[in-house]
Structure 1
Amino acid sequence: MFKNLLRSLETIEKTKQLSIPIKTDSKGYIDKQCPNTDCEFLFKVNENDWRNIFRDEVVWCPMCGHSAEPKQWFTIAQVEHVKTEALTVLQGHINQAMRDDAQKFNSRKSRNNFISMSMNVSGGHSRTFIFPAAATEAMQLEIQCEKCSSRFAVIGSAYFCPACGHNSVERMFQDSLRKIRAKKDNMELVRAAFDAVGKKDDGELTCRSLIETCLQDGVTAFQKYCEKLYEMNPGAATPPFNAFQRLAQGSDLWHAVIGIGYNDLLSTKQLDALNILFQKRHLLAHSEGIVDDKYIKMSGDKTYKVGQHIGVSGFEVDDLVESLTKLATGLRASAHYPPALIG
Structure 2
Amino acid sequence: METYSVDIKKDEEGYLGRECPECEKYFKIKPGTGIPDFADCYCPYCKKFAPQDHFWTKQQIEYAQSVVLNKVSGDILKMMKKVETKPKRNQFISIGITVKGNPTPITYYSEKELEEKVECKNCTLQYAIYGTFGYCPDCAAHNSQQIAEANFDLIIKILDLAKDASPDVKVKLIENGLEDCISVFDGFARERCCKQYPKLSFQNIYSAKQKLDESGINIPEGLNNSEWSFVVKQFQKRHLLAHKMGVVDEDYIKKTNGDHKQLGKKVSITETDVTTLIIHLKVIVSNISKHVERS
TM-score if structure 2 supplies the norm length? 0.58
Q: Distance in 2 between matches of 1:248 and 1:30?
A: 44
Tell me what 2:27 maps to.
42
- Secondary structure of the 2:126 match is strand
Q: Distance in 2 between matches of 1:75 and 1:319?
A: 48
Using a 3 Å threshold, how does the CA distance of structure 1 residues 216 and 54 change in structure 2: closer, same or farther?
Answer: farther
Q: For residues 1-343 of structure 1, what are the structure 2 equivalents within 5 Å?
A: 14-15=1-2, 17-25=3-11, 28-37=14-23, 40-47=25-32, 52-55=37-40, 59-102=41-84, 105-106=85-86, 113-125=91-103, 141-146=117-122, 149-154=123-128, 157-174=132-149, 217-221=183-187, 223=189, 245-247=204-206, 250=209, 253=218, 257-258=221-222, 260-261=223-224, 263-264=226-227, 272-278=233-239, 297-298=254-255, 302-303=263-264, 322=275, 324-330=277-283
- Secondary structure of the 1:94 match is helix
Using a 3 Å threshold, how does the CA distance of structure 1 residues 222 and 153 change in structure 2: closer, same or farther?
Answer: closer
The answer (yes or no) to whether the contact 2:69–2:104 under 8 Å persists in 1 is no
Tell me what 1:310 maps to.
none
Using a 3 Å threshold, how does the CA distance of structure 1 residues 122 and 180 change in structure 2: closer, same or farther?
Answer: farther
Q: Distance in 2 between matches of 1:73 and 1:49?
A: 17
The answer (yes or no) to whether the contact 1:93–1:126 under 8 Å persists in 2 is no
Task: State the one-letter code of the partner of 1:327.
Answer: H
Tell me what 2:168 maps to.
none
The answer (yes or no) to whether the contact 2:19–2:25 under 8 Å persists in 1 is yes
Q: Distance in 2 between matches of 1:249 and 1:321?
A: 20
Deviations 1:178-212 (A, max 9, x none): 8999xxxxxxxxxxxxxxxxxxxxxxxxxxxxx9x
Pairwise CA distance, 1:244: 8.4
Q: Distance in 2 between matches of 1:324 and 1:21?
A: 50
The count of residues paired between Structure 1 and Structure 2 equals 257
- Secondary structure of the 1:154 match is strand
The answer (yes or no) to whether the contact 1:243–1:249 under 8 Å persists in 2 is yes
The answer (yes or no) to whether the contact 1:157–1:175 under 8 Å persists in 2 is no
- Secondary structure of the 1:141 match is strand
- Secondary structure of the 2:28 match is strand
The answer (yes or no) to whether the contact 2:27–2:127 under 8 Å persists in 1 is no
Task: State the one-letter code of the partner of 2:26.
Answer: F
Task: State the one-letter code of the partner of 2:127.
Answer: A
Pairwise CA distance, 1:225: 9.2
Pairwise CA distance, 1:118: 1.4
- Secondary structure of the 2:30 match is strand
Task: Name the structure with the higher helix share.
Answer: 1
Q: Distance in 2 between matches of 1:139 and 1:248?
A: 32
Pairwise CA distance, 1:53: 2.5
- Secondary structure of the 1:120 match is coil
Q: Distance in 1 between matches of 2:225 and 2:239?
A: 14
Pairwise CA distance, 1:163: 1.1
Task: State the one-letter code of the partner of 1:42.
Answer: F
Deviations 1:223-274 (A, max 9, x none): 46997xxxxxxxxxxxxx768842487499456x54x2363389x5x76343
Identity, % of aligned positions: 18
- Secondary structure of the 2:127 match is strand
The answer (yes or no) to whether the contact 1:42–1:154 under 8 Å persists in 2 is yes
TM-score if structure 1 supplies the norm length? 0.52
Q: Distance in 2 between matches of 1:160 and 1:18?
A: 33
Deviations 1:260-308 (A, max 9, x none): 2363389x5x763432215777x79xxxxxx99767754778459xxxx
Q: RMSD of the TM alignment (CA)?
A: 5.5
Pairwise CA distance, 1:177: 5.0
The answer (yes or no) to whether the contact 1:222–1:244 under 8 Å persists in 2 is no
Using a 3 Å threshold, how does the CA distance of structure 1 residues 292 and 163 change in structure 2: closer, same or farther?
Answer: same
Pairwise CA distance, 1:45: 2.8
Pairwise CA distance, 1:21: 1.0
